[in-house]
Structure 1
Amino acid sequence: FPSPPAPKWFDGQRSTQNRQGTLTEYCYTLVNLPHKISRCLHVVNFFKVRHDDMNPVTDSQTKKPEVFLLPKDAKKNPTDITGPIVLQTYRAIADYEKSSTSEMALKAGDMVDVVEKSESGWWFCQVKNKRGWVPAAYLEPMDGPDESEEQEPNYAGEQYIVQKSYTAMEEDELTLKEGDTIEVIHKLLDGWWVIRKDETTGYYPSMYLQKAGEANTSVKSELRNRIAPPRRSTIRNAKSIHKQSRKLISQETYRRNSKKYIQSQRNMKENLQNKAKVLIEKNEQEENKPKAQPAVPPRP
């Protein structure tokens, strides 16, 4: 048999189209081999017409591409193996020069397929035969300016511990030291999370944070040795294909809503304390109230 084209576990829409020509050439070579090969049972079964060939999937039945990785406990039975995973395609909004061998350079307008979206803000992408890490801030979705996967703010906050110090470079960032305890109120996909320290809010690199109570791992430690990804607000000459700009929440809005939440929690706590105090005082009054003396029975 001739050598088949190199397999790909992750396929984007463009790479799938490009490979059609390669597969056509391979099939042509295969059927033109000597009869003992081209007409053997394996080849005949390979080219046998299936139900899917007669009723191809329409565009309306095609699922929207998603980004995910195979789980560790995935079935190893060959009958359970499916086709390549279809990835989401993003567009580069500006040129990016890589600073390490594990990264990938970009040109404005490049179409990339996202293999993995890391919370750190560094996404693993591929362009044709190249693969590497890219800052999420340099990429925009094709459907619209906003990320459908982005979470809403959680003003209750999640407690995290600072694992690496960082000095603020912009006015809306926070300067923290290793060991500080903070609350994360908004997890953003570009790796810059909105955090709360006391009543102050600001951006901080998520890769320098660790959830309280979680054990440290070698992967997390290695990740913290890298520099934080750039923020979109610092990118020069960014060019989007979308007419509308991204929906951004200002730090003033974060602070105002955060203060409202904290104040509501304090009021709730005070109300509970006041109710408890009233009950205690009422019980004390009942206990201190003089008991009625039994009536003296009349003499016979």
Structure 2
Amino acid sequence: MEVLVLLDFEGQLSDELKISAGDVVRQVQPGPEEGWLQGELGGRVGLFPQQFVQEIPPSLRADGTQRYPRSLRSAHAGKLPPTGKRPRWCRVTFPYTPAKEDELALSPGELVQILEEIEDGWWLGKKNGHLGAFPSNFVQELSGPNPAPDTPQLTNFCGHL
């Protein structure tokens, strides 16, 4: 099982894993106590609170094999290049209607957080609290801090500010 980290957790004990929002923890299994999970992140195995994460459906995992139309897997699928823990965002440029229930619907102008490349040309993203796959060529990646949604210019009835 793989999970997406929703909230930061600073492990206090040596067996606890430090996780940050946006991380993808792999090889997750139940921990020794209720409410705790154990998983691997960056080569380190440790415990973290279950309530701080959300399970990534098998079909959206980088190592999944049951995807359509993404049937040809890239040898380079996996994490996007490191970004210094800064969230990556993209703005939708073309509408997309999902072909599968684990894909995100896209409308031009929407913002999507990029979480991981799951296959060449397909990313795992989060939009309005929903996880899903989407085609990377339907969006434009943004640079800088968290972008603001497009806001129309304010004008009075004469067409002036």
Query: Into which bin does the TM-score normalised by the smaller protein fall?
Result: 0.3 to 0.5
Normalized per residue, which structure has more helix?
1
Normalised to the residue count of structure 2, the TM-score between the two structures is: 0.38
Normalized per residue, which structure has more strand?
2
Normalised to the residue count of structure 1, the TM-score between the two structures is: 0.22
Q: Larger Rg: 1 or 2?
A: 1
